[in-house]
């Protein structure tokens, strides 16, 4: 059984529940290839903003294993967010993406777009990455870039990217990229803002494990407005919650029309 598809959780919103990680990765590799082919066919290039963390490591390794023939010369990889640590630090999102994906595929070095974390402070780094986005997408001031694909994670507190509960004006950001101050044991971070995420053509949440079941319920079914992940609502794009069975264990399939794919 590949997966269950539950639709009807909102306009442009889709919930996909997989039996295990292996079919999840197979589905996501297929979607990565499909979206890449479509974007390159239309505009000559494919832009993807990827998240770090533990959950997508297996996916990136699988993309590298199965995707050697993809059009990497026309593919551009950006970051959804980054911890303000050197790339060599085990907490670095770019370091993880480089090890699991970029170093394993024939992508030109210039097509990888890391967030600077060594030569500037967080606010300056955020400004620099915003300028890089505007340059790449040829976006005038006030216009928002449109990524072909955005891959998000979901924290147990409802954060996504590095947009945490209580972060002021999450939907009304004028910045495309912002710095997030260190708090407790959390290091400073740089993150795309909600307006950028909500311009994505296709946005995926990738969620695994029983520890995420409660927050998946609160975001997918309840759509609690105080949770940044609940505020992800692509304008004219599609939103997919791609979960394993454990992460989706508190959701009722009766919330929508279910079928087996």
Q: For 28-43, what is each residue's pLDDT tens digit?
A: 999 999 999 999 999 9
Percent of the chain with pLDDT over 90: 80
Higher-pLDDT residue of 48 and 171 is 48
Higher-pLDDT residue of 150 and 183 is 150
For the chain, the domains span 3-260
β pairing state of 3-7 and 257-260? antiparallel
**How far, CA to CA in Å, does 69 sit from each of 26, 61, 72, 104?**
16, 15, 8, 12
Structure tokens at 15: 């919930």
β pairing state of 189-192 and 81-83? antiparallel
pTM for this model (two decimals): 0.93
- 54: Cβ contacts below 8 Å, ≥ 6 apart: none
In angstroms, the CA 25 to CA 61 distance is 9
Residue whose pair of structure tokens reads 């297929």 in the numeric block: 30
192 strand-pairing partners: 177
pLDDT, tens only, 96-136 = 999 999 999 999 999 999 999 987 788 999 999 999 999 99
Give 227's DSSP letter: S
3-260 belongs to CATH 2.60.40.1840: no
User: 170 pLDDT exceeds 90?
Assistant: no
pLDDT for the residue 260: 33
Contact 92, 82 (CB under 8 A): yes
Contact 102, 67 (CB under 8 A): no
42 strand-pairing partners: none
Structure tokens at 232: 């992800």
CA dihedral 175, 177, 179, 183 (to 10 degrees): 100
pLDDT for the residue 101: 98
In angstroms, the CA 74 to CA 108 distance is 9
């Amino acid at each position: 059984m590949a997966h269950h598809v539950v639709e009807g959780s909102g306009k442009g919103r889709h919930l996909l529940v997989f039996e295990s990680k292996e079919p999840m990765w197979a589905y996501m590799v297929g979607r990565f290839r499909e979206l890449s082919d479509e974007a390159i066919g239309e505009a000559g290039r494919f832009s993807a903003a990827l998240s770090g963390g533990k959950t997508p490591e297996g996916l990136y390794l699988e993309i590298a294993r199965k995707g050697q023939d993809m059009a990497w010369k026309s593919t551009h990889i950006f970051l959804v967010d980054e911890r303000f640590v050197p790339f060599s630090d085990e907490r670095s999102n770019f370091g993880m993406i480089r090890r699991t994906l970029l170093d394993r595929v024939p992508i030109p070095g210039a097509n990888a777009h890391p967030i600077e974390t060594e030569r500037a402070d967080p606010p300056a780094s955020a400004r620099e990455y915003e300028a890089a986005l505007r340059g790449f997408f040829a976006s005038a001031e006030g216009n928002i870039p449109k990524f072909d694909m955005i891959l998000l994670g979901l924290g147990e507190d409802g954060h996504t990217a590095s947009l945490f509960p209580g972060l002021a004006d999450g939907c009304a950001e004028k910045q495309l990229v912002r710095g997030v101050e260190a708090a407790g044991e959390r290091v400073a971070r740089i993150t795309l803002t909600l307006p950028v995420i909500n311009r994505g053509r296709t946005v995926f949440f990738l969620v695994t494990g029983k520890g995420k079941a409660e927050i998946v319920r609160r975001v997918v079914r309840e759509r609690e407005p105080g949770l940044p992940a609940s505020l992800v609502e692509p304008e004219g794009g599609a939103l997919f919650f791609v979960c394993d069975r454990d992460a989706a264990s508190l959701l009722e399939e009766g919330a929508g029309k279910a079928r087996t794919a």
